[in-house]
């Protein structure tokens, strides 16, 4: 075998092997409560305490958030303000308390995301983006206006210059102006894409999230509560505390299941 061919083949093989990426674990959160109900493929846990009924279902996750579908029902005679940013998630510390016979949870709480703050942040970003768009448009107009006298002047200079050049002065100005305008166009395109992303983000918070709501007797509120996603491979249990009246909470406990795709296609559950 040709040594050079063998060397190239070996290098390609090494590159392929070194670039292999293991499949990421698939995560599922399962409620520890045995008495559950189902709605459109989502498993709900429901608890009643001190005149409040709370339904909870794991909704899924993305790169940033763990998402839970909550409904809070008030059957008391007092008004109650539901605030998603006061919902608290705790992950386990990997320890078991033999005395209380309970899992010990980390003392670092993960609070629900405040939709009102997120919408404010989006509006601020949109305001900055609008200013950027106007500045880009002004820059494009300025480049076009300034390039006209430069092109006229350089064209006249080229006409009076008898020396041979690989590229004329007017061509240089035209190319520079075109490059500047293309840069401005790229900025405007990026701003348009960012604006579309911000619009979709705002729409999701407005239509899907659990919003701050005061509920009176026999009233309810429902929506998605978002929690900043922790490292899902470092814990096996989590608890969510939902505040109700008089400083009390209703707690929901979940077990974290990891499914590792293996080389033969069989998923191994941990």
Cα 92 from Cα 236, distance rounded (Å): 7
pLDDT at residue number 211: 96
- Asked if residue 147 lies in contact with residue 219, where contact means CB atoms within 8 angstroms, the answer is no
Tokens for 76? 């008391």
**Residue 58: left (phi > 0), alpha (psi -120 to 50), or beta?**
beta
Q: What is the pTM of this model?
A: 0.69
Residue 253 contacts residue 89 (beta carbons within 8 Å): no
CB 200 within 8 A of CB 35: no
Q: CA 146, 148, 152: angle at the middle one, nearest 5?
A: 130
- Specify the 3-state DSSP secondary structure of 54: strand
pLDDT for residue 101:
62
Cβ contact 174:196 at 8 Å = no
Per-10-residue mean pLDDT, the chain, length 270: 57 58 81 94 96 96 94 97 96 66 73 95 85 63 52 51 51 52 60 77 92 97 95 85 96 90 62
Look up residue 248 and give its DSSP letter.
-
pLDDT of residue 24: 76
Other Cβ atoms within 10 Å of 16 Cβ, number: 9
Q: Which residues, 6+ apart, have CB-to-CB distance to 103 below 8 Å?
A: 92, 95, 96, 97, 237
From the list 202, 249, 217, 231, the residue with the least C-alpha distance to 86 is: 249
């Amino acid at each position: 075998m040709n040594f050079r061919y063998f060397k190239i083949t070996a290098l390609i093989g090494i590159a392929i092997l070194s670039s292999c990426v293991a499949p990421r674990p698939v995560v599922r959160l399962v409620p520890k409560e045995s008495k559950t109900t189902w709605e459109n493929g989502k498993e709900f846990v429901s608890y009643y305490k001190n005149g409040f009924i709370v339904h909870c279902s794991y909704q899924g996750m993305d790169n940033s958030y763990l998402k839970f579908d909550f409904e809070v029902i008030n059957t008391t005679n007092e008004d109650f303000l539901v605030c998603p940013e006061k919902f608290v998630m705790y992950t386990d510390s990997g320890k078991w308390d033999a005395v209380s016979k309970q899992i010990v949870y980390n003392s670092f709480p993960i609070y629900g995301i405040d939709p009102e703050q997120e919408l404010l942040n989006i509006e601020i970003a949109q305001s900055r983006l609008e200013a950027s768009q106007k500045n880009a448009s002004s820059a494009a107009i300025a480049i076009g206006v300034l390039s006209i006298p430069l092109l006229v002047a350089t064209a006249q200079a080229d006409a009076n210059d008898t020396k041979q050049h690989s590229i004329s002065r007017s061509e240089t100005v035209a190319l520079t102006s075109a490059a500047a305008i293309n840069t401005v166009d790229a900025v405007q395109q990026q701003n348009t894409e960012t604006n579309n992303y911000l619009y979709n983000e705002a729409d999701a918070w407005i239509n899907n999230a659990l919003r701050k709501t005061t509920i009176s007797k026999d009233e309810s509120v429902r929506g998605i509560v978002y929690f900043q996603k922790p490292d899902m491979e470092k814990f096996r249990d989590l608890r969510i505390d939902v505040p109700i009246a008089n400083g009390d909470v209703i707690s929901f406990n979940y077990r974290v299941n990891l499914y590792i795709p293996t080389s033969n296609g069989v998923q191994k559950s941990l």
